[in-house]
Amino acid sequence: MKFLAVLLLAICGASFAAKLSASQRTVLTPSFLNKYRSAPAKPSPRNANITEEFFTTEVDHFNNQDLATWSNRYLSLMDHFVEGGPVLIFLSGDTPLDPSMIDDGTLINEMARDMGGAVFALETRFYGESQPVGDLTVESLRLLNTDQILADVADFVVHVRRTVVDNPFAHPLVTGTGLGGGLATWFRVRYPHLVDATWSSSGFIRAVYDFQEFSSGWAETAIEVGSNECYNRIFITFHVAQNLIDAGFGDVLYEKLNLCSPIDSEDRIAVSYFFSVLMTSIELYTLRNGNVDEFRIVCDDISNDDFGTSLEAFANWFNQQFAADDGCVIINFDQFVETLKQTSATTEFGQTGERQVLYQQCTEYGWFITTDSDLQPFGERVQMELYHEMCRRVFGDWITPQLMFRSTMRMNERFGGDTPNVMQIHFTNGAFDPWRRASILGDLNAYALTDVIPGELAGADLRAISEETDSTELVEVKRRLKELLESYLFPFNPR
């Protein structure tokens, strides 16, 4: 069996392996954003009372000459709701809806139980089953932008107040993680009259054109949780690989890494894509479950003294994870591009949001992981040139480096970057999470505080309090979250 290692820059997508077709081969998808997030909990009987619902909103909120509407999907849990209780809304961001977002095992559910609140999870337009126009063509994706998404959330708050809880003055809380945490923050900036409290858990808030800080942040965690030896082995591996390609010995990598075809050393983009796959594979594997022990396990494998060289040790680990069953790894950039050119919303890639997220990265957010920092072990070959070419070939020549750079600048200018003018909001991040470099790590004011949780990756605060498994620091953060957010929702009449 052959495997296609695809550097997808998407933030959502729950499956680790997806099928292209019966005649194609399995696709490994180390996604840029979504597959670095903590995996959602498996469905359980606790989700029995969570219902799937739809509400009607406009396809284009900013064109009064077009009154077309569509049905936006959401999940609802009313078990804890009492009259006068708050409305707690989880924004799924780039991830298709899953009941585990608001089930009994979550902190938002625990908050609802304590405050008598109704809990909802809202799916973002163009993701999962929330498809405003039914396809993912470039023309349709022009309706996929932050302003349109926030207008959907605004309509949803009004819908829940008027139709679901029958209280136009119900107190809303909006939260999310990753892109969802960014959207929750931007909603507080743009629609402060529709939200009384906001919680951003490991939110992507600052748009970053060249996200070189990600790999340096990853390296810090690898050293602290793993070892200096682990960092050095990875450093040596990537630099040896660069030297082999430059000297015309790329066949060594072709054989040791079980590649399906040799690396074209004359093609700068092909070489850059190859290194991006290697870099993404190890970053993905250590971050995929939100468990810092993954770093230790990977570092132990790569630091194994049973192998004569660092490259051999890395190749052994890489092949065990990505080339099982005597398969090979396809690193074909052209095939990668063709996969992301698919415009059907009903394919598995359309459902998981790979094309959609890349579009938003190219036109708004950036967050492109490069090796431009000197404080990381992955060499120097993954630069913005790769992502310029990727965006252009997938979506068209209208996407230029200037447009991509200006788009991230515009996002930060409009929403405040990492210094938004907001109150009654709380920011949480894991101290070991590389994504914290795109978030807010310091208090903005007395009503916009932050917690950086020691020893944790992304989203550790999303689960309900557990005295058995949570660290002392994590329990304290969760309790503070509950107290602060309740005080924001009911400042004059504590429940």
Distance CA 38, CA 30 (A): 14
Q: Are 229 and 389 in contact (CB under 8 A)?
A: no
- Residue 286 to residues 283, 295, 359, Cα–Cα distance (Å): 5, 5, 26
Same domain, 322 and 217: yes
Are residues 425 and 377 part of one domain? Answer: no
Same domain, 364 and 482: no
Q: How far is CA 309 from the centre of its chain?
A: 34
* Contact yes or no for 160/120 (Cβ under 8 A): yes
Contact 317, 70 (CB under 8 A): no
Helix (H) or strand (E) holding 76: strand 69-77
Q: Is residue 314 part of a domain?
A: yes
Domain that holds residue 466: 50-206+417-489
The neighbour count for residue 246, using CB atoms within 10 Å, is 11
Assign 470 to helix, strand or coil: coil
Q: Provide φ and ψ at 316, rounded to 5°.
A: -60, -45
Q: For residue 21, is it within any domain?
A: no
Q: What is the pLDDT of residues 215-233, one digit of tens each?
A: 999 999 999 999 999 999 9
Mean pLDDT of 85-96: 96
How many domains, in total, are found in the chain?
2
pLDDT single digits (tens) 155-202: 999 999 999 999 999 999 999 999 999 999 999 999 999 999 999 999
Q: Which residues pair with 259 in a beta bridge?
A: 329
Q: In this structure, is residue 36 part of a structural domain?
A: no
Note whether 298 and 285 are within 8 A (CB): yes
| CATH number for the domain that contains residue 449 | 3.40.50.1820
C-alpha distances in Å from residue 26, one per residue of 3, 4, 328, 404? 6, 7, 11, 31
**Same-domain pairing of 86 and 165:** yes
User: Is residue 332 domain-resident?
Assistant: yes
Q: What are phi and psi of 34, to 5 degrees?
A: -65, -35
SS3 state of residue 37? coil
Give me 444's structure tokens: 């903005």
Encode 292-317: b = buried (16+ Cβ within 10 Å), e = exposed.
bebbbebbebbbeeebeebbebbbeb
Does residue 123 share a domain with residue 170? yes
Residue 38 or residue 249, greater confidence: 249
Tell me the per-residue pLDDT of 108-163, one tens digit each, with 9 for 90 and over: 999 999 999 999 999 999 999 999 999 999 999 999 999 999 999 999 999 999 99
Q: Tell if the pTM clears 0.75, that is, is over it.
A: yes
The mean pLDDT of 46-70, rounded to a whole number, is 92
